Chain A
Amino acid sequence: MTALEVAAKLLGCLLVFLTVPLLVGQMEHKAMAHMQSRLGPMYAGGFHGWAQLVADGVKFAQKESVVPARADRRVFELAPAVALLPYLFVLITIPVGPGQTAHDLSVGVFFALAVVSVGVIGVLMAGWSSANKYSLLGGLRAGAQLMAYELPLVLAAASVAMAAGTLSLQGITHAWRWWWLPYQAVGAFVFFTAALAELRRPPFDMPVADSELVFGPFTEYTGLRFALFLLAEYAGIVVFAALTAVLFLGGWKGPFFEHELGWLWLLLKTLALSFIVIWLRVTYPRLREDQLQRFAWVALVPLALAQVALTGVVRVVTA
C-alpha cells in the first residue's frame, strides 16, 4: 500500500464522513416533517430545501463561539472534537465491498465498539466543563446510559463474531448468509436498540431531554462547536447504521453486482436503517431515566445473553 493509496482512502473516508451524515440529516428533516403532516424545509437551494443543512452550516459558522466565564475553557473547547472524531475513525474499518476497506483490521468489531464508546467522553467533558447544572446532569446521564447499553451492544456484536468465527468486519460479511437474518434477529434488535441509546437518540434521549435539561451537555455551546456536536449525532447514526448493516444484514452483500456495487448495497442498507432511527424518533415519547436503565438491564441484557447462548449452541452443534 503506497502512501498515495492511504491518502486516497482516508480522503474517501473523510468525504463519506462529511456527506452521508448530511444526507441523513436532510432525510430526518423531510421524513419527520411529513410524518407530522408538515412539509419541512422547502426553500433553501430552490428544490424542496435540499440545501437546508448547507445553509444551517453557513449560519453556524457565522455565529460567535461563546465560552461561559466559569467554564473550564480548554476542556470545553476540546469536547466537540472528542465527541466527533471517534466516528470518523470507525469509518476506516467499515467494509464497502469484497476486499474494499480503508483498513481491514483483524479485530474490527473490537476496534469499532471500543472507539465508538469514546464519543461519550466528549459528551461528559462538555457536561462537566460547562459549569452548568443542566449540562452536568445531562453529561452524567449520558455516561450512565453508555454504561448500561454498552453491555448488550457488545454481547450482541459478540454473538455475530462467534457465528462468523472472526472479529474482522470483512470476515463477518464474507461469512454472512441470508439465514442469519432469523438466526441473529434478536441480536440485531438488541444491537440496534442499544445503538440508539448510545447515540442518545429518542426515545433514549434522556441526556438531552430538552423539556427538563434545556439541551443537556450542549446547553452552553454555540456556533461551530454546537454544529460539530450535531454533526457527531448524525455521523453516529451513520456509523451505527453501517455497523448494524455489516454485522446483521450482510454489509456489501446484495442480490447482484456485489463486486461493483457493494458500496451501494451497504449505503442502501445504512440509509434504510437511518430511516428507522428517524421513524422511531418521530413515533415514540422519551423514556424516563429509570425506565431507560430498567430497559437495558431487564430486557436487553437477558435477550443479548440468550442470543449468545443460541449462537454458542449452534456453533457447537454444527462444528
Chain B
Amino acid sequence: MSEHEQHEHEEREEQVPGKGLLQGLGVTLRSMTKRSVTREYPHVQPELPPRSRGVIALLEENCTSCMLCARECPDWCIYIDSHKETIPARTEGGRERTRNVLDRFAIDYALCMYCGICIEVCPFDALFWSPEFEYAEGNLLDMTHERDRLRDWMPSVPAPPAEVANAEPAKEVSGAGPTRAGAREARNVPPRTAQAAEGDAASAPDDGQPA
C-alpha cells in the first residue's frame, strides 16, 4: 500500500462520524463484562508456577565453602566465613588432611537481585530455588538470612523434574559412574591428551563429594 493509498484509506475510515466514539463505548462495556485482572493477594494466595524463583535455600551439608557463589554474585550479597580444620591421619604415618568448616553463610536479600547465578555455579548442589516469597521485613537488616534461616527454606524446594525418557543422560549422572573412563567409553568419547588427563586427575577428589 502506497503512502497516498494509506492516507486515502484513513480518510475513508473517518467518513462515519462518531464511529470512534461508539467504538470507545464498546471497549469499556466489553472490559466490564470480562473478568478483572486484580489479584487480592494478601487475602487470596497467588497461583505461582511451581518453579517460580522466590527465595534461595541452602543445603549446608553440600557446601564446601568454595566461595564460588560469593564470587560470582553480581551484587556481592553472599557472605561466607569458614576456617580450616585438620583431620588426623587415618592410618599410621599417613598425612594429615584439612577440610573447610563453614562458619557463616548468609544472603542479604535486600541486595539480591534474584539472578540465580549462585545456584547455577554451585558445583555441589548446595543452593536451590524455592517458590516461597513472603519474607518481607520491617527492618532492612533483617533481610539478611543467616544459614539457619536459609536452611529452613529447604523443605519448600520442589523435587527435581523427572528425567525425560531416551534423552542423553545428564552430565551429573553420566559423570558419576563407576569410573570416569568407563563413562567416557559409554559416551564414545575418544581418549584425551596427556595434559588434559593430568587436569582430570587434579580434579579427581571432587568425585568423592556427596552429590
Contacts and interface: CB of A to CB of B under 8 A. Distances in A.
- Whether A associates with B in a native complex is yes
A96 to B, nearest CB: 29
A37 interface: yes
Contact of B21 (A31, A36, A284): A284
B24 A283 contact: yes
Question: Which interface class (under 10, 10 to 19, 20 to 34, 35 or more) fits B?
Answer: 10 to 19
B32 A35 contact: yes
A52 to B, nearest CB: 15
Nearest to B30: A35
A306 interface: no
B34 A37 contact: yes
B21 A38 contact: no
Contacts of B29: 35, 279
Interface string A75-95: 000000000000000000000
Contact of B36 (A37, A279, A280, A284): A37
Interface string B9-38: 000000000000100110111011010111
A36 B37 CA distance: 9
B24 A31 contact: no
A37 B27 contact: no
A33 B38 CA distance: 10
A107 interface: no
A38 B25 contact: no
A212 B120 CA distance: 52
Contacts of B25: 279-280, 283
B26 to A, nearest CB: 9
B32 A31 contact: yes
Contacts of A31: 32
Contacts of A33: 36
Question: Which applies to chain A's interface (DSSP): helix, strand, loop or mixed?
Answer: helix
Interface in A96-138: none
Contacts of B21: 284
A67 to B, nearest CB: 38
Contact of A34 (B24, B31, B40): B31
A42 B38 CA distance: 11
Interface in A26-42: 31, 33-39, 42
A303 to B, nearest CB: 13
Contacts of A213: none
Contacts of B32: 31, 34-35
Nearest to B39: A39
A35 B31 CA distance: 5
A282 interface: yes
Nearest to A42: B40
14 contacts: A33-B36, A34-B32, A35-B28, A36-B31, A37-B37, A37-B38, A38-B38, A39-B36, A279-B25, A279-B28, A280-B25, A283-B24, A283-B25, A283-B28
Q: Which 10 residue pairs of A and B lie closest in terms of their CB atoms, listed nearest first? A: A39-B38, A35-B28, A34-B32, A35-B32, A283-B28, A283-B24, A37-B37, A37-B36, A282-B28, A39-B36
Given A31-B32, A39-B36, 5 more contacts: A35-B31, A37-B37, A38-B36, A279-B29, A283-B25
